[in-house]
Chain A
């Protein structure tokens, strides 16, 4: 009972520290929300308005028919028409166009004679991802054009014997925005939690008030709970706001269960509080704790599988990444949002988080007293 009262007093004090300071108050709610919206729009691999230039030497009905198909697609945006070869390198070099479509003078005649015609495409490889995806789109436009030709009876060639029928599961239109936004909330609420908790102990150490806390009748466990709760409450609040934002603002489907979502976020936030408090307990000054949290944040976010797949990493790095808590929540959130996972289905991604938390939290509590000053 006494213990509960002491914890309550400490929790009230910790919340007051955040809520009384306008800067801290602001850091917790304002910027994270703006970041969520801005980055939510920025994080996408879906191409739009890929600028291309056309060098049409054929100027025939057929070549125009093909180009009209390209122009009609939302992916491409025409940036110019070329009249000679040297302009190709000008356009690509100056980044005036990322793709040049070159139709040779014999395009029409070759097709009429039922011989295969070749269309040249030059792509700017400075962004290979954009180049490859744009070429893929162009390939499917050409395949469609080929079918049109056969249907119209313009050419007598039969369609190719083998063809690929593509289907995708869980995300039928292959929208990458869903993929990013479902994980984005996890990343941003993590930054908030780490910034909040990593400073809590270090600030008191620097101001000298931590000694007062240590001589007060609190056990390290009680201090730990008092220091954790604000981070957990604000982190979870932010994460839930982001989850709602993902569904109602960005229109990401929510196919899983709310219980699974809350449970996963809670496990993750507790783990993050553990990491933040550990960093804080290890550092003597705020500067050290900021550098510490920063050294944790950068690799943890970059290697979380949020932007680039973990499967593409070399094996040794994939193994090392097993201790990265962020990877688990990213996978769990995606499975809950997009695959409709419930609690048992995401459990494999939660217990590693709990293990990390059960190491960092007690270690932080121990370090409160035992960190050599």
Chain B
């Protein structure tokens, strides 16, 4: 028989064995399909940077006239949940007790001052503990105040225009919805883990259970073992990925502007890199416990902190940015943001895709090196 025929025969054998193993032990199917969907469902709702119904206390003794109008504006905004109080000390107490996140203070002479064309302050005090939320609240307040100024000017009641105004456009994500940004990132986080965990355990498991020895005496070559360990889990991982993307588009209504071909090619590269990483740990460590521990510490936590999924990488110190280049999730976060929101922009997709391809080759190569046909090292 030719070498090619023999190779195909061996490959068919090990693929059949791995497939049967997956089908008979539902835990890997649960890991690849059920877990991503459940996590995406919870995280998709739970991880959100847009604040709505922020409790604010408004101090305003004078609720007539212009002050009342402004108060109404705050009440109408979906971002605020307004509590009216009479005195500043009352409001400060609410802020201290964390019943409200911000205090808006309109002074007693607010209406008179504004009507006489003087500069009229609207005081805002925010709880700065969560700095990001505080900045968002400031932004929401500013837009309410600005809109109100515009209305006053239109009515001819307010004083002057600001000389320079900003006209802002946000491309790819007009309403700046954080879910469009979060959900693709979360898919990356979840699939990193699934990919690593799927393979981290399989080779180590064979060593621990002693079934590796049985495989070593078969005519299987190292390359057959490698392919047999990667292909079935690749398909399983891609199934999980496909379902997650479907949930993102249908349930969370994230726009998908790229092409399916680009998604399949690039997510394959990412999946291969993650599977390769897991396989590398697994083959090098040979103990399930340590392999899984390393996958959590080297897979999950960096994917959360160093991928740009939540925290902006460019704002971090230089050495953090350098470290982040070793995290595969970083590249797929960039790819998925572009694919979902912007479309097939190859100037972004290609370099990131190439790095992922390089990582996949590197990790799988290292895994291959560590799969030996000997018992002792």
Interface residues of A, Cβ cutoff 8 Å to B: 23, 27, 31, 35, 38-39, 41-51, 66, 92-95, 111, 116-133, 135-136, 138-139, 142-143, 145-146, 149-150, 155, 157-172, 174-176, 178-179, 191, 195, 199, 203, 286-287, 290-291, 294-295, 297-299, 301-303, 307-309, 311-314, 317, 321, 334, 338-339
Contact = CB atoms under 8 A, between A and B. Distances in A.
A298 B47 CA distance: 12
A159 B95 contact: no
A33 B139 CA distance: 36
Given A66-B164, A123-B168, A126-B181, A161 B117 contact: yes
Contact of A136 (B39, B135, B288): B135
Contacts, number: 323
28 contacts: A27-B293, A35-B297, A41-B319, A43-B305, A118-B167, A119-B164, A119-B165, A122-B170, A125-B171, A128-B176, A129-B312, A135-B168, A142-B164, A150-B163, A159-B162, A160-B161, A161-B159, A167-B124, A170-B127, A171-B131, A286-B288, A287-B288, A291-B31, A295-B35, A299-B46, A302-B46, A311-B51, A339-B129
Interface of B: 27, 31, 35, 39, 42-43, 45-52, 54, 95, 114, 117-136, 138-139, 141-142, 145, 148-149, 152, 158-174, 176-178, 180-181, 193, 197, 201, 205, 288-290, 292-293, 296-297, 300-301, 304-306, 308, 310-317, 319-320, 323-324, 334, 337-338, 341-342, 345, 347-348
Contacts of A142: 162, 164-166
A31 B290 CA distance: 13
B170 A287 contact: no
B14 to A, nearest CB: 22
Contacts of B288: 286-287, 290
A167 B123 contact: yes
B149 A172 contact: no
B186 to A, nearest CB: 8
Contacts of A170: 127-129
A106 B315 CA distance: 34
Contacts of A162: 114, 120, 122, 145, 148-149, 152, 158
B301 A119 contact: no
Given A161-B114, A166-B126, A121 B166 contact: yes
Given A42-B305, A149-B163, A158-B159, 5 more contacts: A42-B324, A162-B145, A166-B141, A169-B128, A312-B51
Contacts of A51: 314
A31 B119 CA distance: 56
B181 A128 contact: yes
Given A92-B171, A287-B292, A179 B301 contact: no
A167 B123 CA distance: 8
B124 A164 contact: yes
B292 A309 contact: no
A294 B201 CA distance: 14
A39 B120 contact: no
Contacts of B342: 93, 126
Contact of B338 (A126, A150, A299): A126
Contacts of B337: 126-127
B125 A168 contact: yes
B173 A46 contact: no
B253 to A, nearest CB: 15
B24 to A, nearest CB: 16
A142 B323 CA distance: 36
B301 A35 contact: yes
A149 B159 CA distance: 16
A250 to B, nearest CB: 12
Given A133-B135, A291-B31, A122 B42 contact: no
Given A128-B176, A167-B123, A95 B135 contact: no
Nearest 7 CB-CB pairs, A to B? A125-B173, A168-B128, A171-B128, A158-B160, A176-B131, A128-B176, A161-B159
A38 to B, nearest CB: 6
Nearest to B291: A290
A41 B48 contact: no
A139 B146 CA distance: 11
A126 B258 CA distance: 13
Contacts of B173: 125-126, 128, 131
A309 B130 contact: yes
A314 B290 CA distance: 37
B164 A146 contact: yes
Given A48-B315, A130-B312, A166-B126, A120 B171 contact: no
B166 to A, nearest CB: 6
A33 to B, nearest CB: 12
B45 A317 contact: yes
A301 B159 CA distance: 50
Contact of B300 (A44, A166, A298): A298
A322 to B, nearest CB: 13
B50 A312 contact: yes
Given A95-B348, A160-B158, A122 B117 contact: no
